[in-house]
Amino acid sequence: MAYTEIELAEKISIVAQKRYQQIKPSGKPTCKSNGVKEWTVLAAVVAFNNEHDEFRLISLATGVKALPDEELKRSQGRMVHDSHAEILAIRGLNTAFLRQIEMLDSDHENEKCDLIEETDSPGVYRFRSDVWKLALYVSKIPCGDCSMHTLNDQDHTGIHFGEEDTCQYIDPNVKTTLRGRFNYSKKGICRTKPGRADSNLTVSKSCSDKLLSKTVMSVLNAINWDLLQHPVYLDYLILPESNRELKLSCNRNFRERLASFPGVHPVNILYCKTKFNDDQNEEETKTPCPVSSILLDILPKSVIIEQCILNGVRNGCYVKGPKDLRKNSESVVSRLSQWQSFKKLKKHRHFSSYMDFKAQELYRNELKLKLRAVLSPDGWIHTRTDNFH
């Protein structure tokens, strides 16, 4: 049967939430000793074939945290900087692609690889876009530009920002990137992840900005960009049913901000009525869950990886700074883990470091520079370089 778009949104949200129910309790919100419940955001990348009624979850993630930029000093590829659910789910998608490529390269269970296939060119692969479309489900409207209208409705302080108020900027010379939720009345602008005003600074960009960037850069990271023949784009973004103003905000973010930019692959935004039970609830006091979870279906129902992440590394492995992080503390979706897989696939190529490899992706880097110049014309505020060998 072929689903209508309304039915498709509900179906994909149900696929994600049913799978969420099966993950370990250690990866879910709990009730604290003081009786306050925790909340989280759920995201999942689902491949589907509408004509054949096939729905295949690839990656599932929860999370609401981002690391302070300072933490990346000692990361060496081990720490996941941005653990917001939708970004983790896309990292998971890239890991799943990479693992299937490894299987194809080693002839191990390669007949079961349903997402990736070999091409006529040795060492070059392709996503099976003739079979699958990709949808990203997120249980909450993405942070950043998409959700600023909610804050506007909730605020009754009467506080207004002027251009000269420097507290809203990471860098006063870059007025086209705002810090978190500051000056939320300003729309269509690049923002960093939200956080308390007194918290350690993160310059990781909002999920609205990152998901918008994927419509140009594709969902592929630098490693898979190198391995796959063509970029891979999301076909659908499934969000919770929202009021008219929030839908207009999402439309502005994904339709207007890059309206004049060439080569955008617009994502179709659908809204679902299925509610996520562990979401933030206005009717009761809840606190954000500090733990993120990641579940990857590398091969359907046979090769599954599940991990919990706390402070950017596998739960139980974090060491407070300035000490070095533990060996093997990295999660399966970390840069280091993905880099190690890539080096096994490309033994004949030599790179002095991860950043050396990225610097050689000339077309991708040029495209990224052009995109960032549109998103933040005053300049781009970079996260700390996380380099390793």
Instruction: Supply the DSSP string of 182-219, one letter for each residue.
Output: TTTT--S-EEBPP--TTSPP--PBPHHHHHHHHHHH-S
- Is the bond preceding residue 322 a cis peptide, omega within 30 degrees? yes
Count of the separate structural domains present in the chain: 1
| 97-132 pLDDT per residue, tens | 999 999 999 987 788 999 999 999 999 999 999 999
Give every residue of the chain whose pLDDT is below 70, as ranges: 1, 151-159
Cβ–Cβ under 8 Å, residues 338 and 346 = no
Integer Cα distance of 219 and 235 in angstroms:
11
* Catalytic residue of the set 7, 51, 54, 86: 86
What does the block give as tokens for 14?
């149900």
pTM value > 0.85: yes
In a domain, 290, yes or no: yes
Phi and psi angles of residue 385, each rounded to the nearest 5 degrees, phi first: -65, 130
In a domain, 357, yes or no: yes
Cβ–Cβ under 8 Å, residues 308 and 292 = yes
Q: Measuring CA to CA, how many Å separate 305 from each of 144, 297, 332?
A: 30, 7, 8
- How many CB atoms lie under 10 A from the CB of residue 332? 21
Which stretches of the chain are assigned E, i.e. beta strand? Answer: 37-39, 42-49, 54-62, 64-66, 82-84, 116-118, 125-127, 133-138, 177-178, 190-191, 236-240, 268-272, 286-288, 292-299, 303-310, 313-314
In the block, residue with structure tokens 């308390």: 196
Strand partners, 133: 48
In a domain, 179, yes or no: yes
In the block, residue with structure tokens 């009021």: 243
In a domain, 380, yes or no: no
pLDDT at res. 26:
95
pLDDT at res. 155:
52
Q: Measuring CA to CA, how many Å separate 308 from each of 67, 101, 136?
A: 15, 24, 20
Integer Cα distance of 48 and 302 in angstroms:
18
- Which amino acid appears at position 121 of this protein? S
The 8-class DSSP code of residue 254 comes to: I
In a domain, 43, yes or no: yes
Domain that holds residue 318: 5-375
Cβ–Cβ under 8 Å, residues 330 and 78 = yes
In a domain, 385, yes or no: no
Nearest to 224 by CA among 130, 115, 314, 302: 115
Integer Cα distance of 163 and 151 in angstroms:
19
Cβ–Cβ under 8 Å, residues 222 and 376 = no
Task: Assess whether 86 carries a catalytic annotation.
Answer: yes
| 185-218 pLDDT per residue, tens | 899 999 999 987 777 889 999 999 999 999 999 9
Angle between helices 85-106 and 207-217 (to 10 degrees): 40
In a domain, 291, yes or no: yes
Nearest to 170 by CA among 149, 189, 143: 189
Strand partners, 64: 84
* DSSP percent split of the chain into helix, strand, coil, nearest 5: 30, 20, 50
In a domain, 157, yes or no: yes
Q: Rounded to a whole number, what is the distance in angstroms from the first to the last CA of the chain?
A: 49
